[in-house]
Amino acid sequence: VYTIDGGGYVSVPLAGRVRAAGLTPAELERAITKHVDGNILKDPHVNVQVATYGPIYIRGEVKQPGQFPYAPGLTIGDAVALAGGYTYRADESVAYVRSSASPQEMARPLRTDVPVAPGDNIRIPERFF
């Protein structure tokens, strides 16, 4: 098991430090393979799997705001359920999401289930009467 450091790199024997931030597991496999192919190993086979994801955060008009574990396929509706559901004051038509890569909140209409990514910060606003 190898961990991505705070700078977005993973240190792998024979390959050294490889940039991992922003790459999918398949892209990271190719990057590691490129580092060792021909120089150290002949026709290497690399497999990358995500062991744990960063958490998501939900706040605002939910019953139990806080930090929750991310799982692939998680949606805003699932995140609200993890947080105990909406409060009676919640605006259930929109959520504001700030991804870990952006300082800006984006309004997400909740007509459909909107996917969530690791590190997302979700805010459920109060409705106006």
Contact indicator for 94, 108 with CB cutoff of 8 Å: yes
pLDDT at 41: 83
Confidence of residue 38 (pLDDT cuts 50, 70, 90): confident
Confidence of residue 18 (pLDDT cuts 50, 70, 90): very high
pLDDT at 15: 86
Tokens of 86: 């909406």
State yes or no: pLDDT of 39 exceeds 90.
no
Alpha helices in the chain (DSSP H): 25-36, 76-82
The mean predicted confidence, pLDDT, of the chain is: 91
Rounded to two decimals, what is the model's pTM? 0.76
